Structure 1
Amino acid sequence: MRKSILLLLYIFVVNTSFSQSEKKIKWWNPVNSVVPVISGQAWPSEVKSVYHRFPERAEESVREKVWNLSKQSAGLSIRFWSNADSILVKYQLKEAIDMAHMPATGVSGLDLYSKTFDGEWLRSWGSYLIKTKSNYSFRIDDDSESYKKYGREYQLFLPLYNEVEILEIGVDSKSSFEVLPIRKEKPIVAYGTSICQGACASRPGMAWTNILERNLERPVINLGFSGNGKLEMEVIDLMTEIDSKLYILDCLPNLNPNTDDTYSLTIDAVKKIRLKRLNVPIILTTHIGYADELTRKKSAEEVIKLNKELERAHNDLKSEGLENIFLLKKQDLAFGFDMYVDHIHPNDYGMVQYAMVYEDLIREVIKESIGDLSTKAPKTQSRDIDVYKWEERHQDILELNKVDEPKICLFGDSIINFWGGEPVSTIARGQDSWDGILKPLGVRNFGFGWDRIENVLWRVYHDELDGYQAEQIILMIGTNNINFNSDTEIIKGLETLIRAIKIRQPKSKILMIGILPRTGKEKLIKELNLKIAQLAVLEAVDFRKIDDQLLLKNGIINDSLFTDGLHPNREGYMILGKQLERIIIDK
């Protein structure tokens, strides 16, 4: 009786808080967006419902069970910026709220994450009521002036095992709210079973595909279908429509070693993908094993048989000359029995393990290593949010590269960002020298205000050098690391960055430009540039300094050529432009 009273009181309080604040809340519905905003969708313009995973036409080709499961919102999320101190979500569900082995928070709940200006993930929590008509109230206790003024980026993960029919996000009418469009980077596409769909994570953010998306900061398309991930050609056909960074085939737990031809299914699936996506990496994942296989001989034998057939298929594909085919083995997944909820489905502990192993292999396959130093760990950032939007500029560059391939890529921080060119910046102090000198040479501006080495590394990892052949890559980066990193850390970061560029643009010439002088740090930068020059020799790339005319005879910065002791003014940019022109022409 007491529990019933408390439950009724809780429902009353939650519903009252929503109804009382309704007049002050502005609500946003994804259905009303003019651009695609549901992350994790591969066919945003073709879906029957905004929260479905497959295009409407797939209903005619895939099995009914697969089609019905594709209506569930596993792997889908919504990204937005807000400075609200309370974020409300109300939504309507179609199916059962929970399952015997998976809580309502995982089956039907939501999960809200956000990022700091330095690219670190945070997680929000709050009160919730999960029924057919559900709601969440996330409380954000951040009294900082920066949050009040600018807010931060959020990502709302949707239910793993339910179909969302209606959803709205609400914030106080005085708070800012800006939805972010889906990203243009090539996604990871994962086809699998209930484990891939998210069973049995306690909440959406703990599904391994969602963990992987946050860790890689790359879209992940979740094509997990509970009990129905069977390497079917109809699904493979749809997968090949996606211009993917990498494909994952993780279907063995849904195959029967006695009735399904695992070997032939694998061979056919890989070859079908290869017909359309010639060089895209494919990971073939073995069965993770059963929790009871140490005490149940039949379980162990089934796993061994399935995995042997998959490994045989992998080896034969490699023998035929198919490249970029990788095998993720059971022993590498390293599942212990405490990582399961039941006999097969991972708990949160298992999901973290699954994601971690996948991340390590994927980083190795797509050459996105992450080091033990901050300068070697790729990061996003929003430190200059009052001047420009970092991710928006990144997306603009990806789009610009598709329609107009750059000849020379000039990477840097605000010194490059504020020079001029495209994408257009709110500050362009050297536009005349850019238009008159650099633009005719085919130089594109890849400068981002407040970028450090690790931020440029992130951008290189996230496709800014993909899909075209540049003649030259020019780097002038590191000044923003000086106050945070040692010279050794800076050099190690530049080394990682150069090697990442070589992998993506092996035919391009790389030119490193010495860090420009800044007030009070002239001697420090001079010594650091000597070390950068030594690195250039070791990495077999060019190194040049273009700062001689920016210094007085005593080696101190010439303030008349700068706006603030760091950023050149119009005259300073003209000097730099002429210096850079001579280097480019002489190359």
Structure 2
Amino acid sequence: MVILNIRTAVIVVSTTLLSLVVKAQEYSWWNPATNSFPAIEGQAWPKEVGLPYDRLPARAEKTVQTNVWNISHQTAGLSIRFRTPAKEIIVRYTVSGKFEMPHMPATGVSGVDLYAIDPNGAWKWASGRYTFGDTITYKFSNLSDEAREYRLYLPLYNNVKWMQIGVPGNTAVVPLQTRKEKPIVVYGTSIAQGGCASRPGLAWTNLLDRQMDRQVIDLGFSGNGKLEPPVTALVSEIDAKVYVLDCLPNISELPPAEIQERVITAVHTLRKKRTAPILLAANSAASLQSLNGNASNAIANKALQDAYEKLQSEGVKEVYILNAAQINFDLSATVDGVHPGDAGMLEYTKAYETSLRNILHEPTGTINTTIPCRQYRELHRYDWDARHNELLTMNAAKAPKTVLMGNSITHFWGGLPAAPIARGADSWKEVMDPVGARNFGFGWDRVENVLWRVYHDELDGYNANKVYIAIGTNNLDMNTDEEIITGLRALVKAIRQRQPKAGILLSGILPRLNMEKRIVGINQGIMQMAGEEQVQFINPGTVLLKPDATIDASLFTDGLHPNETGYNKLAHFLQPYLQ
């Protein structure tokens, strides 16, 4: 009887193992570290790292302190972007350190965190079932089969030795290129590294990554963010959108004069190579109403303020300060009087986002047309993300003289970057090429999507002669006229901030079937707003109308998109304005 039970158990175990093997074979596995192009976000030196998931280049081992070097193997701030329509995603990996700390759970220290962006640019979060052992496994199930972009955040306080991402065999993982926009670079302490978030996506640098949808290079080193010259020199190698120096918690015990010296030296080091804004952060713990608060925090913050004022008196430009009152931790913000918990991380992120949006001139509003976001509503036809990256690459290689920003009507006209459809290629070549035009049209874009692209560097680094804006038709089905005009006003302001020397041409919305009357009305409002913003309003859509003010169907393919003849009429209408 015992033998029978043992045999039965063996059969059951063997069957279970076999089913697991079969199930494993039914999955396709992708290793981000061996991808054909860099797929790990958050690395400033992807081609120089010694280990796949390191944060510093291998050569830094010879210059930085040993503690900094050891912590740089921990994957705080690193993430992986990919697309898949899979209904289930499995992440398996190994780490080399302890799973958890006394004040921080294993899910934050050693776990991963999965987020996604839907076709309209809205963020979603996926809860996962996890097991921690020799191999850590996260399983994300019951996902929709809609192809979406995922962002997987890696452990905050552990070293990833290897990792694989698996999906059912009838689906695939499509790796995404690392983002090409200039990153936010953070040099800081354990707080910047993510202590003590309950999971990686709630670390403030990762929250900021999503809130501003801009890559964050996280150089937070627990207990070792001390504004040391070797690290600051490395930071200066990165071509950043903005630099954040958040090291005060690790140097608050130093004499005020030394704190000032370290801050000023760090800023001067950055300024020798870079002109990007620098944000100095105070010690957030000073804002806590603690019964046993540390007086050194307030003293250190005063030293930081003095250093800031000295830099101002020296004429050092684009240096800003984030003080403790702006962070404004409440009594529930931290786990130990220093490190934010999840609630504190949200407060930290809010303070940083507010400050950085002011510095970078990236305001947001309360209606969707003023909230910048990406989209991939037409992924079957073109890759929105890839087109944006291609534009950034082209702009860096050769600046455009004329910029045409718009939706599919512009996208499918002609010119470069090449589109899957070019219905007006001849008129583009005749009229647009001579004025050095570049096609910044993206199919299915709305006002808020163009605002995102303006905020994400498409107009940075060069001076255009003309910027033509033709956007809004895709908002008609979801927004009021007032909401569209409000978004266009925000867009005009953003473009003027980045292209102050360019002539801005704001187009009325082009006519479309069964919406002619409404478009006449909204265009009157757009014209009034253009006058208030002192930009030129033009109304090329009039050439596509019949005398009775309805569309001339012979000039369209579908009542919305012009055909070759329609594009020819638009080109010749625009020609004198683009000279």
TM range (shorter): over 0.9
1:109 aligns with one of 111, 114, 131 = 111
SS at match of 1:529: helix
Between the aligned residues of both structures, percent identity stands at 47
Give, in angstroms, the shift of residue 362 of structure 1: 0.3
Offset, 1:526: 1.0
Taking the aligned partners of 1:118 and 1:292, their CA distance within structure 2 comes to 39
- Equivalent residue, structure 2, for 1:268: 265
Note if contact 1:291-1:337 (Cα within 8 Å) is conserved in structure 2: no
**AA aligned opposite 2:49:** V
Q: TM-score, normalised by structure 1?
A: 0.94
User: In the alignment, which of 353, 356, 360 is matched to residue 359 of structure 1?
Assistant: 353
| Range that drifts further, 484-493 or 287-296 | 287-296
CA contact (8 A) 2:183 2:240 kept: yes
What residue in structure 1 maps to residue 465 of structure 2? 471
Match of 1:514 among 494, 508, 521: 508
**1:122-521 correspondence runs (5 A):** 122-142=124-144, 147=146, 151-258=147-254, 261-278=258-275, 280-289=276-285, 294-296=290-292, 299-521=293-515
**1:521-560 superposed matches below 5 A:** 521-560=515-554
Q: Deviations over 1:258-296 (max 9, x none)?
A: 457111100100111111113x11111111116986322
> For 1:357 and 1:14, how far apart are their aligned partners in 2?
52
Q: Is the 8 A contact 1:282 1:324 kept in 2?
A: yes
C-alpha RMSD of matched pairs (Å): 1.8
8 Å contact kept, 1:213–1:220: yes
Contact 2:286 2:324 in 1 (8 A): no
Query: 43, 55, 58: which is aligned to 2:57?
Result: 55
* Contact persistence 1:382–1:389 (CA under 8 A): yes
Using the alignment, how far apart are the partners of 1:410 and 1:163 within structure 2?
A: 46
Aligned to 2:93, the other structure's residue is in SS state strand
Normalising to structure 2: TM-score of the pair? 0.95
The code of the aligned residue for 2:266 comes to A
Superposed displacement of residue 414, structure 1: 0.4
- SS of residue in 2 equivalent to 1:339: coil
Partner secondary structure for residue 337 of structure 1? coil
- After superposition, the Cα gap between the structure-2 partners of 1:43 and 1:223, relative to the gap in structure 1 and judged at 3 Å, is same
The 10-residue stretch of structure 1 (185-194 or 319-328) with the greater mean CA deviation from structure 2: 319-328
Shift of 1:431: 1.1
Task: Name the amino acid aligned to 2:501.
Answer: K
Question: Counterparts of 1:13 and 1:361 in 2: how far apart (Å)?
Answer: 59
Give the superposition deviation at 1:573: 0.8
Equivalent residues, number: 566
Instruction: Measure how far apart 1:13 and its partner are.
Output: 13
Q: Cα deviation per residue 1:323-354 (whole Å; 9 max; x = unaligned)?
A: 21111111111112211111311100001110
Q: Is the 8 A contact 1:409 1:445 kept in 2?
A: yes
Distance 1:474 1:292 in 2: 50
SS of corresponding position for 2:245: strand
Given that 1:375 and 1:493 are in contact with CA atoms closer than 8 Å, whether structure 2 keeps it comes out as yes
Structure 2 unpaired stretches of 5+? 1-13
Q: Partner residue of 1:45?
A: 47
Is the CA contact (8 Å cut-off) linking 1:420 and 1:430 kept in structure 2?
Answer: yes
CA contact (8 A) 2:508 2:537 kept: yes
> Following the alignment from structure 2 to structure 1, what is the Cα–Cα distance between the partners of residues 131 and 22?
16
1:18 deviates by 5.7
SS in 1 for 2:332: helix
Structure 1, gaps ≥5 residues long: 1-11
Give the distance between the partners of 1:466 and 1:140, measured in 2 at CA.
Answer: 41
Q: 1:292 to 1:584 in 2, by over 3 A?
A: closer
Q: Tell me how far apart the structure 1 counterparts of residues 379 and 179 of structure 2 sit (CA, whole Å).
A: 19
Per-residue CA deviation, residues 459-498 of structure 1 (Å, 9 max, x unaligned), is 0000000011111100011111111111111111111100
Q: Which amino acid aligns with 2:222?
A: S
Deviation at 1:15, TM superposition (A): 9.0
Query: Equivalent residue of 2:325, what SS?
Result: helix
Show the counterpart of 1:120. Answer: 122
Describe the SS at the equivalent of 2:267. helix
